[in-house]
């Protein structure tokens, strides 16, 4: 998923407000009704899809009924925000009752959501990552938002919205919610100096960063770490930044093993590890990288801009030493790595036609 490197100020403001845009839209759409009476004209797995949802026409009706809204690991830190947002929504639509539940978002998230989908037990509104979206869409479990709500894309940055369409499809099945832009690097300027690097000249490519990481391990005698060792923090992000050929053009076959850039990446990653540039105890563990950085144990932190707020809140001294720069490599652009929101095509929320003009 790509997003142009250069963003005008008004678009940066739009990034911050995207959650406020997406949630009321998607809740109202769900409350207008996806499931309900009438015979099903389609199925997703063993689950019925209502005639209204399967018709390919815009949904209409008065928002009403109970909506089960599921977020992913947000309740602990954002309970106040969502409580107010849901309360405001219910005031606007007094016939709607929103039941909020929060999934922990652990390593089994996608597996559990797919299992719930196959059992016809998905909530009415879902906060999803990109991997889970693909798995659910492939089996027909997501509502076509473009058809259900014509013009739903208008409040959003066009390049972000367009990037959410699947290969060979023009319609969208998810809405952007909140996200980071991979292509940004955050780094501890003080630790860079200690390792003999110039914080005013940070790396501009993935290869340059690996070269710097080897120097960090060698010059510090293994006392400093460049970044978290677990490759899942960097794959496939690095490969996309390098513009490597992860899949063929039809996206039917993986080709990364044939790309010399990825072979070189693996070689460099091995060399960084051998040079003590990585914390070895995080190689195969699910270590909390933001905590490591905030504690002053890593040179490079997260690529997510909101990570900076976390560092400021948890360790002001590290925040003051944190530098920010682009890391765009051959791709030449940052790409979106974010959370999305969707309505299952199998939602059981009843459809109620309205005589007045629909507010959906």
Domain boundaries, the chain: 9-180, 184-333
- As a whole number of angstroms, the longest Cα–Cα distance in the chain is 74
Q: What is the pLDDT of residue 3?
A: 28
And the tokens for 227?
Answer: 């970044």
* Model pLDDT, residue 5: 31
- In the CATH hierarchy, which fold is given to the domain comprising 184-333? D-Maltodextrin-Binding Protein; domain 2 (3.40.190)
Give pLDDT, residue 2.
29
Question: From edge to edge, which strands make up the β-sheet containing 335-342?
Answer: 96-103, 65-72, 125-128, 335-342, 175-182, 184-188, 322-326
Instruction: Give the rounded percent of residues in the chain with a pLDDT score beyond 70.
Output: 85
Tell me what pLDDT residue 303 has.
Answer: 85
pLDDT of residue 174: 94
pTM for the model stands at: 0.71
Alpha helices in the chain (DSSP H): 9-32, 51-54, 75-92, 109-118, 130-138, 145-148, 158-162, 189-194, 206-219, 237-241, 260-274, 289-294, 307-314, 316-320
Q: How far apart are CA 328 and CA 53, in angstroms?
A: 41
pLDDT 10s digits, 290-310: 888 999 989 999 887 778 888
**222 in the Ramachandran plot: left (φ > 0), alpha (ψ -120 to 50) or beta?**
left
pLDDT of residue 188 exceeding 60, the answer is yes
Q: Are 187 and 199 in contact (CB under 8 A)?
A: yes
Does the fold of domain 184-333 match that of domain 9-180? Answer: yes
Q: Which CATH class is domain 9-180?
A: alpha beta
Average pLDDT of the segment spanning 64-86: 91
């Amino acid at each position: 998923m790509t997003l142009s490197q250069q963003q005008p100020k008004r678009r940066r403001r739009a990034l911050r407000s995207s959650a406020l845009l997406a949630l009321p839209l998607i809740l109202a759409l769900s409350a207008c009704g996806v499931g309900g009476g009438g015979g099903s004209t389609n199925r997703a797995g063993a689950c019925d899809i209502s005639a209204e949802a399967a018709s390919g026409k815009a949904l209409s009706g008065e928002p009403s009924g109970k909506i089960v809204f599921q977020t992913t690991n947000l309740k602990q830190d954002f309970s106040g925000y969502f409580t107010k947002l849901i309360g405001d929504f219910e005031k606007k639509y007094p016939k709607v009752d929103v039941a909020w539940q929060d999934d922990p978002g652990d390593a089994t998230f996608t597996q559990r959501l797919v299992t719930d989908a196959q059992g016809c037990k998905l909530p009415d509104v879902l906060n999803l990552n990109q991997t889970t979206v693909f798995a659910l869409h492939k089996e027909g479990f997501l509502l076509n938002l473009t058809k259900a709500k014509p013009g739903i894309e208008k409040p959003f940055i066009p390049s972000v919205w367009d990037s959410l369409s699947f290969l060979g499809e023009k319609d969208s099945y998810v809405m952007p919610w909140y996200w980071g832009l991979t292509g940004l690097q955050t780094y501890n300027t003080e630790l860079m100096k200690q390792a003999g690097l110039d914080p005013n000249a940070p790396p501009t490519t993935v290869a340059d960063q690996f070269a710097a990481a080897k120097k960090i391990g060698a010059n510090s005698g293994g006392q400093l770490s460049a970044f978290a060792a677990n490759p899942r923090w960097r794959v496939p992000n690095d490969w996309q930044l390098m513009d490597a050929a992860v899949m063929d053009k039809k996206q039917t076959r993986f080709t990364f093993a044939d790309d010399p850039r990825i072979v070189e990446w693996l070689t460099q990653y091995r060399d960084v590890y051998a040079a003590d540039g990585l914390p070895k105890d995080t190689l195969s563990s699910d270590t909390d990288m933001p905590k490591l950085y905030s504690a002053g144990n890593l040179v490079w932190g997260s690529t997510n801009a909101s990570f900076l707020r976390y560092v400021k809140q948890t360790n002001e001294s590290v925040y003051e030493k944190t530098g920010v720069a682009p890391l765009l490599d051959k791709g030449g652009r940052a790409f979106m790595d974010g959370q999305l929101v969707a309505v299952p095509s199998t939602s059981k929320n009843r459809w109620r036609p309205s005589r007045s003009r629909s507010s959906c």
